[in-house]
């Protein structure tokens, strides 16, 4: 079968890597990069370290308002799919690239598969929540990472085409752990394993509002342990625009975004993670690192139920309290699959007619 896979943002390159490898065993895959993320350290490095084939097309859309960005992607993607005539379209996660891929496939009458289907934060103020709901509604095959995701879809009346396959991010995390361990991050980033915190931030609710971002920066600045913080470009732009960049750099180790193996290596050496990322919450769980999430809700509720992830929101005192005191008790018991989710997706696609 000829499959067009649509990716565009950092986490999608990571999710696509294990799936693409499996899908290509029995299918022809055309990889389309929307260009949503475009800096080398947000895009190209992932193709290199994850052995993801170079995109057949890069639509070069870049940043802009959500509606403009999505509209441009839809327009450009339609041209590519008209030329390539795929028999199936595969989308990942919940970004505007996911939404664009889903809409074009549905308008062209091409069956759609959604990897990471069924996730819900139940917060419709998040652009991602809308993107997920639309993608799920338009999908023929819905590849769920967790039972929670399957249950969410059932509550919305979506049961046909739903497959519980496990999490492709768990696959790639397991596959990459050994290579990550050989990365000399403590030397390069000047940190002592077990003695630092790793932070990431990029949710608009946290970084687009000056007051919220300033509160977080000030809380980070009061941490007794050093914080390593690979700064997402959205966050960097806002820190600079709000005049907070120098304040941040005075108290934390602010670095450029790093490649996946460096990130996993930094994560494995961290004593705690501070994040608002979806993927990073899970990776912290996979590797048994306590996670403090600067949000009020999460799609990855299993990590919270199991006691390894604390949802603390963005009040500085709450963040500091969790930095000092959050200490998961007990073993991890929740399932994100068996590390073979990508294989399962590919075998389901092999049988799709
Ligand atoms: C997007 C996704 C989000 C995902 C995140 C992963 C949507 C609605 N959001 O958020 O779900 O969690 O990616 O990181 O799709 N920028 C650069 N260089 C880049 C990439 C972005 O400078 O390589 C700038 C853009 O120009 C823009 C800002 O960062 O000003 C935000 O980029 P955008 O892709 O719109 O959203 P993200 O915040 O990255
Ligand atoms: N990541 C990375 N380098 C960084 C920060 C994050 O490789 O500097 C990886 C991280 O390991 C995870 C993914 O990017 O797999 C998460 O992406 P992001 O936080 O941008 O998006 P989200 O998961 O919130 O959609």
In a domain, 330, yes or no: no
pLDDT for res 334? 87
pTM (two decimals) = 0.98
Closest ligand 1 atom, residue 278 Cα: 12
Same-domain check for residues 18 and 146:
yes
Active site residues: 202
In a domain, 157, yes or no: yes
Cα gap 250→10, rounded to integer Å:
28
Same-domain check for residues 206 and 345:
no
In a domain, 7, yes or no: yes
Same-domain check for residues 53 and 89:
yes
Closest ligand 1 atom, residue 131 Cα: 8
Closest listed ligand to the CA of 61 = 1
340 contacts 21 by C-beta, under 8 angstroms: no
The residue whose C-alpha atom lies closest to atom 20 belonging to ligand 1 is 37
Residue 57 Cα to ligand 1 middle (Å): 19
pLDDT for res 79? 98
Same-domain check for residues 308 and 346:
no
Closest ligand 1 atom, residue 93 Cα: 11
In a domain, 107, yes or no: yes
pLDDT for res 329? 82
Determine whether the shortest distance from the Cβ of 200 to ligand 2 is under 6 A. Answer: yes
Same-domain check for residues 25 and 152:
yes
Same-domain check for residues 313 and 346:
no
In a domain, 331, yes or no: no
| Length reported for the chain | 353
In a domain, 156, yes or no: yes
Measure Cα distances from 204 to 213, 232, 233 in Å.
10, 11, 12
Q: How many domains are contained in the chain?
A: 2
Going along 8-96, which residue ranges are E strands?
28-33, 57-58, 88-92
Residue 259 Cα to ligand 2 middle (Å): 9
User: Domain span at residue 254?
Assistant: 176-325
Ligand 2 pocket mutation, candidates 231, 277, 293, 297, criterion most atoms within 8 A of CB: 277
pLDDT for res 330? 82
290 contacts 327 by C-beta, under 8 angstroms: yes
In a domain, 268, yes or no: yes
Same-domain check for residues 341 and 318:
no
Domain CATH number, residue 79: 3.40.50.2000
Determine whether the shortest distance from the Cβ of 14 to ligand 2 is under 6 A. Answer: yes
pLDDT for res 98? 98
In a domain, 332, yes or no: no
Mean pLDDT by 10 residues, the chain (353 residues): 98 98 98 98 98 97 96 98 98 98 98 98 95 98 98 97 98 98 96 97 97 98 97 98 97 98 98 98 98 97 97 98 94 93 98 90
Cα gap 344→303, rounded to integer Å:
23
Same-domain check for residues 75 and 112:
yes
pLDDT for res 159? 97
Closest listed ligand to the CA of 37 = 1
Same-domain check for residues 97 and 231:
no
Determine whether the shortest distance from the Cβ of 316 to ligand 1 is under 6 A. Answer: no
pLDDT for res 82? 98
The residue whose C-alpha atom lies closest to atom 9 belonging to ligand 2 is 260
Closest listed residue to residue 166, CA positions, set 327, 351, 343, 336:
336
Same-domain check for residues 26 and 135:
yes
The residue whose C-alpha atom lies closest to atom 19 belonging to ligand 1 is 37
Ligand 2 pocket mutation, candidates 42, 172, 180, 200, criterion most atoms within 8 A of CB: 200
Please give the helix or strand (H or E) that residue 335 lies within, else none: none
Q: Give every CB contact of residue 298 below 8 A, 6+ residues apart in sequence.
A: 121, 278, 281, 304, 309, 311
Residue 235 Cα to ligand 1 middle (Å): 9
Same-domain check for residues 317 and 196:
yes
Determine whether the shortest distance from the Cβ of 283 to ligand 2 is under 6 A. Answer: yes
Same-domain check for residues 149 and 185:
no
């Amino acid at each position: 079968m000829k499959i067009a896979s649509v990716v565009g943002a950092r986490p999608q390159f990571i999710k696509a890597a294990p799936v693409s490898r499996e899908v290509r065993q029995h299918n022809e895959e055309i990889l389309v990069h929307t260009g949503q993320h475009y800096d080398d350290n947000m895009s190209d490095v992932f193709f290199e370290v994850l052995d993801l084939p170079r995109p057949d097309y890069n639509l070069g859309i870049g940043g802009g308002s959500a509606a403009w960005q999505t509209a441009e992607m839809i327009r450009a993607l339609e041209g590519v799919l008209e030329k390539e005539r795929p028999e199936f379209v595969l989308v990942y996660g919940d970004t505007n690239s996911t939404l664009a891929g889903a809409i074009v496939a549905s308008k062209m009458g091409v069956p759609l598969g959604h990897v990471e289907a069924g996730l819900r934060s139940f917060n419709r103020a998040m652009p991602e929540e809308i993107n997920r709901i639309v993608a799920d509604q338009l999908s023929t095959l819905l590849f769920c990472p967790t039972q929670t995701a399957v249950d969410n879809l059932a509550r919305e009346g979506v049961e046909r085409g739903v497959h519980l396959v496990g999490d492709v991010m768990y696959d790639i995390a397991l596959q990459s752990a050994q290579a990550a361990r050989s990365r000399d991050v403590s030397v390069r980033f000047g940190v002592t394993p077990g003695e630092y915190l790793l932070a990431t931030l990029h949710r608009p609710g946290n970084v687009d509002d000056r007051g919220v971002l300033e509160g977080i920066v000030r809380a980070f600045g009061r941490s007794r342990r050093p914080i390593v913080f690979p700064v997402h470009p959205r966050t960097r732009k806002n820190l600079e625009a709000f005049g907070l960049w120098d304040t941040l750099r005075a108290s934390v180790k602010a670095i450029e975004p790093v490649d996946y193996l460096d990130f996993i290596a930094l994560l494995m050496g961290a004593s705690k993670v501070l994040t608002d990322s979806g993927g990073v919450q899970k990776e912290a769980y996979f590797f048994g690192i306590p996670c403090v999430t600067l949000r009020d809700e999460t799609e990855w509720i299993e990590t919270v139920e199991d006691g390894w992830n604390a949802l603390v929101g963005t009040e500085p005192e709450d963040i500091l309290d969790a930095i000092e005191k959050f200490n998961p008790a007990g073993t991890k018991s929740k399932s994100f699959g068996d590390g073979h989710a990508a294989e399962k997706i590919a075998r389901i696609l092999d049988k799709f007619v």
